[in-house]
Amino acid sequence: SGLVHVKNPHLDSMEEDVLYHLDLGTKTHNLPAMFGDIKFVCVGGSPNRMRAFAQFMHKELGLAGNGEDLADICAGTDRYAMYRAGPVLSISHGMGIPSISIMLHELIKLLHHAKCRDVTIIRIGTSGGLGIEAGSVVITDTAVDSSFKPRFEQVVLDDVVVRSTELDKDLMEELLACSKEIPDFPTLIGHTMCTYDFYEGQGRLDGALCSFSSEKKLEYLKRAYDAGVRNIEMESTAFAALCGLCGLKGESSHTP
C-alpha cells in the first residue's frame, strides 16, 4: 500500500501520541493536513545544514515565496530542526546512533499518523573517506558495524536484537544514475562503516584517550577497505535498520 508501518501494538491504545522531541502530537496538530503529501525526507546531522538544504530545495522546486523565511516546524524544542519545501521534509538528527534513533522513531510515527505513502528517505552528510578522493560522494549499499558486518545490534530490555542493515538497491542505482548528470562530484557505491564514537571508534590518534599505535590504526583501516568500506560515520546502521523494518525506501549518501 506504500504506507509507513509502525510495529508497536501499544500505539493503538494510546489516547494521544506525543512526538516529544519534535514538539508535535496527534491531538495538538493535524498531522495528515501538515504532512500527508510528503514524498521525500532528507535527514542530516546539523540543523543549519538542513535549513540550507531546505532553502536549496525551495529554490530548485520553484516554490513561491522567499526560501530564506522557512520556519522551523520543531521550533518549540531545541533537540531537532525540521523544515519543509513542498513535498520535501528536511530534518536534523544530531550526532550518533542514540540521537538519530530517537528522531527516526518519532519521524516514522509522524509519517504513519500523517498517512503518507511511498515515502523515500535519504540521509545526507559528511563522513570520513577511506581510500577515495576527498569530496567524493559515497552511496551506501550496506551499512556495516566496526567488525565490518552488515548488522545493527539493539539492546531491548536485556536482549541483544540483531537487525539487517541493507538499503534499497533500486534507490541506490537511481541515485548513481542521477550522479552522472553532476560531473563535479566523483560518485561511487560502497559499504559505510558506522561507529559508536568519533575518536577511538574511528581510529583517530588525537582524542583524550588512545591505546593503539599509528601502525595498528592503519592495519585496521586497510582491513576495513579490503572488506569494502569506503567511508566511516556514526548513524548508518541504525538508519538502515529502522527504515527497513518500517517499510521506508531508504538510502544513505555521504561526502568525505
Q: Per the structure block, which three cell numbers stand in for 133?
A: 578522493
Is 51 marked as binding a ligand?
no
Q: Which of 92, 45, 80, 111 is nearest to 248 (CA)?
A: 111
Provide the residue type at 120 as one letter: T
Is 49 marked as binding a ligand?
no
Is 26 marked as binding a ligand?
no
For residues 93 and 103, is the Cβ–Cβ distance under 8 A? yes
For residues 195 and 148, is the Cβ–Cβ distance under 8 A? no
Sheet bearing 128-129, strands edge to edge: 82-85, 88-92, 40-44, 120-126, 249-255, 137-144, 187-194, 229-233, 128-129
Is 117 marked as binding a ligand?
no
191 contacts: CB under 8 Å, gap ≥ 6: 140, 141, 142, 143, 144, 148, 150, 227, 228, 229, 230
Is 55 marked as binding a ligand?
no
For the CA atoms of 142, 155, 3, 234, the dihedral, rounded to the nearest 10 degrees, stands at: -40
Is 230 marked as binding a ligand?
no
Is 97 marked as binding a ligand?
no
Binding-site residue numbers for substrate are: 202, 204
Binding-site residue numbers for phosphate are: 79, 123-126
Binding-site residue numbers are: 79, 123-126, 202, 204
